[in-house]
Structure 1
Amino acid sequence: MTAPTMPTTAELIGHFEPGSPEWHAARAHGIGGSEIAAVLGLSPYESRFSLWHRKKSLVGPVEQSDVMEWGHRLEEAIVGKYAEEHPEQTVVPSGTYHAPGKPWWIVNPDRLAINPDGSIDVVEAKNQRVDDNWGEPGTDEVPIWYRCQVAWYCGALSVRRGRLAVLVGGSEYREYIVEPTAAEIETLAGAGAEFMRTLADNERPDIDGHSATYQVVKALPAGLEDIDVPVTEEDRDRYFQALTAFTEAETEKRAAAAILLDHIGNGRRATFGERTVATRTVRNGKTYSLQPARNRSTAA
């Protein structure tokens, strides 16, 4: 089934397979739903700096990870479950659209759900190994980067509601509902427009501590010249101080992790109250790693 004719002024760009060359080309000169959180500095996967360089074609697109691959493979199953849970809706594939008058505001939801009254909900499928940053099912307590994504879609398509269908741990199905406010959408639109201006004006974002920023900085130089390059005293001191702080932090981290593992024993998780603190992984019967919870709030 093809995507419906939208009851809005959003403009259809086309129908593209996610990750295909055509899909990347449609997003190359705009901002997609999975990218707007990076513009705001809220994405764990991409930084404003790295996204800017990708949009300038100075580095290649993000390579597909195993997590991304399985998220794509399981999308059909997850939205199939959603459709079964909502027989009152007609769930259909979505095309790639842009907001009216803003060709850089690109949206490509996983599915669109047509309600009996003709209104449309955005449907996003997510595959999550753990439920960190997710609240009670049926609420809008979702990771901020996914809230940004859904709000981006709702704003461009002029729809009120986004639904996230989530598979947790490979076996637990949940649903969440996000109804972004007009102020949220306005904030995203303003940030998107400003980001596009920096691209046009060749105004590079500042370097930050995001891992994606570091990977892009590493990828930018081509080749090696046997030359010395002077740096400032400030940059030298910051680097050396960071190395010292990192060594001290690593030592403390090992001690803190050892204490948790000692408490866990042959268990799986360390918890405080109802929250997971860290999860122990095992290979060949022995502890392999201790993975911290993403939500590391110390609030009770």
Structure 2
Amino acid sequence: MVVPSYNPRSLVDTKGLTEKEWLEWRRKGIGGSDASIILGISPFATARDLYYDKLHIASYKDDTGNWVALQIGHLLEDLVAEIFHKKTGYPIYQDKRMFYHPLYPYMLANVDYFVTLPNGETAILEIKTTSYNGKDAWWINGEETVPVNYEAQGRHYMAVMNLNHVFYCCLYGNNEDTVIIRHVERDTAYEEELIALEGIFWNEHVLKRVPPPYTEDGSLVIQSVKRHSGMADPTAPAVELSLPLASCVVRFTELQAQKKQADAQSKKIEGEMKRLQGRIVEAMGKSCTAVCSTGGSSYTITYNPYRKPNISKDNLIRLQAQHPDIYQDYVTVLEKRRLYVKKSQKENAA
């Protein structure tokens, strides 16, 4: 892919826009955080969710449940940018506009910060925050990396802005030394595929109002279907599955049988482990720690207690009966559905 010379176009000045107004402008195209969803590598949403969001049918962001983390990210954005500036010495600045690609106007970019490099080039700076445990996603087998969904976001921005570098600065603690800084250079092969897939999503699905197929991880698909289908209706008529889905059912039953065999073996192993655990626990008595040596190796065994609050089913029933107002305020009823496939036995011919 030969990158043509072009300058991004300005779509709207975002300074002073409300959150609702900003979201409405974003629905006019594909933003950086949408890129990983279209590529099928997002841990949060499917392309179908994004499709419904763009058409204003339903917003998948409403159900993320992580509004506190998102708010923290917004509040700390300027601070993390300042840490990046102090760590690298690179000047940073903001341009509060939403940009679009002149050749693919549905590709939008709302960049956190821009960086001026020593050679005069402009780069992109993406600000991220995470927890202490979440920082592990920035390494794979000890090698520095960028989480794939963030990488897709940065490469989308480089394509729109026609820039060759993106930096990431991720804060995971409460001081300037608990930051991760990464640098990614432009990859034209990745960019070509990204542009093609975003074009298909926008032109063949959003504009033609044709929902994209589910191709993502099963858990994400199930969450998406539940989000858009609503609560189960036991009175609804049975659905006749098409032939391709019937083959899925056959394969599901095959895997179900394999899993049953594996579970039986697993239970046998667990039973043996439990028997050995019983002998060890008997020897430990009240002690929480034990040690032993055998075959040239030393072992430390811990058997520590842990306690957590719990409410029994009987007490929950009493709470509902005696304090219904408190029950309604604090008890949430969640719906879960279990898929079970049973093969019917053919009737014997008369």
Q: Distance in 2 between matches of 1:239 and 1:163?
A: 44
Superposed displacement of residue 74, structure 1: 2.0
Q: Distance in 2 between matches of 1:19 and 1:241?
A: 52
SS at match of 2:61: coil
SS at match of 1:174: strand
Residue 191 in structure 1 maps to residue 190 in structure 2: no
Higher-Rg structure is 2
Aligned equivalent of 2:164:
160
Superposed displacement of residue 114, structure 1: 2.4
Q: Distance in 2 between matches of 1:29 and 1:210?
A: 29
Quickly say closer, same or farther: Cα 1:144–1:28, change in 2 above 3 A. Answer: same
- Under a length normalisation based on structure 2, what TM-score does the superposition of the two structures give? 0.62
Cα pair 2:49 2:59 within 8 Å, conserved: no
Aligned equivalent of 1:273:
none
Structure 2 gap ranges (5+): 278-287, 289-304, 310-350
Q: Distance in 2 between matches of 1:134 and 1:48?
A: 25
Bigger mean CA offset, 74-83 vs 236-245: 236-245
Q: Which amino acid aligns with 2:111?
A: P
Quickly say closer, same or farther: Cα 1:239–1:127, change in 2 above 3 A. Answer: same
Larger helix share, 1 or 2: 2
Q: Which amino acid aligns with 1:122?
A: I
Superposed displacement of residue 93, structure 1: 4.5
Aligned equivalent of 1:147:
151
- Under a length normalisation based on structure 1, what TM-score does the superposition of the two structures give? 0.71
Larger strand share, 1 or 2: 1
Aligned equivalent of 1:78:
80
Residue 36 in structure 1 maps to residue 43 in structure 2: no
Aligned equivalent of 2:345:
none
Cα pair 2:90 2:115 within 8 Å, conserved: no
Aligned equivalent of 2:50:
51
Q: Distance in 1 between matches of 2:76 and 2:251?
A: 44
RMSD value, Cα: 3.7
Identity, % of aligned positions: 19
SS at match of 1:154: helix
SS at match of 1:34: helix
Aligned equivalent of 2:321:
none
Q: Which amino acid aligns with 2:61?
A: V
Structure 1 gap ranges (5+): 1-6, 267-283, 289-300
Q: Distance in 1 between matches of 2:128 and 2:182?
A: 11
Aligned equivalent of 2:213:
206
Cα pair 1:16 1:22 within 8 Å, conserved: no
